Amino acid sequence: MTSVQKLAGLVVLILVLMASAAGVTWQVQDWRMGNKLAQQAVLHGDDLAAISNAATAQARAEQGKRLALEQQLAGQDKQHTKELSDAQRNQARMRDQLATADVRLSVLLAEDPASSCNVPTAPGAVGMVHAARRAQLDPAHAQRIVAITDDGDNAIIALRACQAYVRAIAR
């Protein structure tokens, strides 16, 4: 063998050894990187599971709050509906009593400053109660007054219901 052939064989042997070393190094790096990626995948999966569990728990809590609020609003609606029906029943009873003259509405009369005494001037069978003088209203006027107060009562009940609703929602 000539020295050129020996040298060429030695160069080829060195190149083969270098290529095999590079291949082995490549395989070791691939194995180590694969292990790191597997560990990161497990950690990522654990993080995703924790996030998913937290989101599910939060969704359940929000749903519970929503259901509690709906029940509270339903209870308040029931209460306000009962108040409204009671007020309407009382108003109907008052209108019926006014229509049948069971009840008469009256107003205080303005007193004359010269006669500030409530004691009757003429003796007679007037009675023992000395109070301010009153005038009875015409039944038609009384019905209109009751209708106005009915509207006011209904408005107050509706306003209370709206305020309770807003307070409940704002919480």
Contact 105, 98 (CB under 8 A): yes
Please check whether residue 116 lies inside any domain of the structure. Answer: no
Reading the chain (171 residues) residue by residue, the pLDDT tens digits are 688 888 899 999 999 999 999 999 999 999 999 999 999 999 999 999 999 999 999 999 999 999 999 999 999 999 989 988 998 898 888 888 877 777 777 777 776 555 555 555 555 554 544 567 777 777 788 788 888 888 888 898 889 889 988 988 887
Please check whether residue 117 lies inside any domain of the structure. Answer: no
Please check whether residue 124 lies inside any domain of the structure. Answer: no
Phi/psi of residue 153, nearest 5 degrees: -60, -45
Please check whether residue 14 lies inside any domain of the structure. Answer: yes
Q: Distance between CA 57 and CA 31 in Å, rounded?
A: 39
Please check whether residue 126 lies inside any domain of the structure. Answer: no
Residue tagged 């009915």 (tokens): 150
Please check whether residue 125 lies inside any domain of the structure. Answer: no
Please check whether residue 75 lies inside any domain of the structure. Answer: yes
84 lies in which domain range?
3-111+131-170
Number of structural domains the chain divides into: 1
Please check whether residue 155 lies inside any domain of the structure. Answer: yes
Following DSSP, what letter does each residue of 128-165 receive, concatenated?
S-----EEEPPHHHHHHHHHHHHHHHHHHHHHHHHHHH
Entry pTM: 0.50
